[in-house]
Amino acid sequence: MFVRAKAMYVRVSTRKSREVADLVRGKKVEDALRILKFIPRKGAFHIAKAIRSAAANAEENLKVRDLSNVYVSDLRIEMGPPQKRFMPRAHGRASLIRKPTTHIKVVLMDKEG
């Protein structure tokens, strides 16, 4: 049994989110959420939100009531398209500012299946 959830176009850097994702990959859902709660990074909030969404999908769609056997089997942090903004500069010019976005993909799996 596996369940997926995605968080797309999240406004956080991919590199910074991957550092956080490495800490919780392979852990049980309860332990992963407990770890993410105390990490002072913006990516930790969004990863925790995606894991909670996948856990809710497991409870609703697969009728899993006990999440103690469910763990984070796959947690991918992929680059999304950057938001492009312009900042006015001297002599009527404009410079491009790229704001990175991230796609967070979570797969939860049961220990038995």
Cβ 46 vs Cβ 17: under 8 Å: yes
Quote the mean pLDDT of the chain: 93
Rounded Cα–Cα distance for residues 86 and 35 (Å): 37
Residue 3's alpha-carbon distances to 67, 81, 112, in angstroms, are 12, 25, 14
DSSP 3-state of 90: helix
2-110: which CATH number, 3.90.470.10, 3.30.70.600, 3.30.70.270, 3.30.465.10?
A: 3.90.470.10
Cβ 97 vs Cβ 87: under 8 Å: yes
52-92 pLDDT per residue, tens: 999 999 888 888 778 888 999 999 999 999 999 999 999 99
Q: Provide the pLDDT for residue 68.
A: 85
Q: Provide the pLDDT for residue 2.
A: 86
Torsion region of 99: left, alpha or beta (phi above 0 gives left; psi -120 to 50 gives alpha): beta
Residue with tokens 């038995």: 112
Q: If you average pLDDT over residues 11-35, what whole number do you get? A: 94
| Contacting residues for 41 by C-beta, under 8 A, at least 6 apart | 16, 17, 19, 20
> Per-residue confidence at 11, pLDDT binned at 50, 70, 90?
very high
The fraction of the chain above a pLDDT of 70, given in percent, is 98
**Cβ neighbourhood burial of 77 (10 Å; 0-12, 13-18, 19+):** buried
